[in-house]
Amino acid sequence: MDRLARETAEDWWEVEALYDLAFAPGREALSSYRLRDGVPPVPELCLTARDQQGILGGAIRYWPVLVSGARALLLGPVAVHPTRQGEGVGAALIRESLAEAGRLGWARVLLVGDAPYYGRFGFRRLEDVEMPPPTNPERVLGLALRPGAWDGVSGAVKPAA
């Protein structure tokens, strides 16, 4: 069983190397990265998963964003080392971080991802929320951590100052 813990400054380079391994080259050119530029992540929600030997198996980060003035969390990136995929590491990171986001008082989360995968955590397509182009609108998903948190929230996603 992996130990989940808050990402520390000492973890940063190892987590970045995992993201480089898990995602295509040029991942930082994706539109979601424009929402992260110059904005620190939400440290309480950035987690790592390590095995009993301390080897990094997965990581997740969250960033604050605004959707027409409403605060939201942008989930991602989340990555699992290729040798650990299919073991539930990613699901554990997602479940624990979403539970913590709720405990911290966050109301809504969004991401760009695959609906079949993220649907099992309660994410649904956000029809009226626009990520920076060229994001495929079919992949813009949201989760209400409080009932009705996405009701009436629409428009462009902007970085939180």
For residue range 15-56, list pLDDT tens digits in order: 999 998 888 766 665 667 678 888 999 999 999 999 999 999
pLDDT in tens, 127-148: 999 998 888 999 999 999 999 9
31 by DSSP, 3-state: which?
A: helix
pLDDT in tens, 84-136: 999 999 999 999 999 999 999 999 999 999 999 999 999 999 999 999 888 89
Q: Is the pTM of this model over 0.75?
A: yes
- 74 beta partners: 63, 110
CA distance readout (Å), 53 to 2, 5, 7, 50, 90: 10, 14, 17, 8, 18
How far apart, in whole angstroms, are the C-alpha atoms of residue 161 and residue 152? 22
Long-range contacts of 39-42 (CB under 8 A, 24+ apart): 39/63, 39/64, 39/159, 39/160, 39/161, 42/73
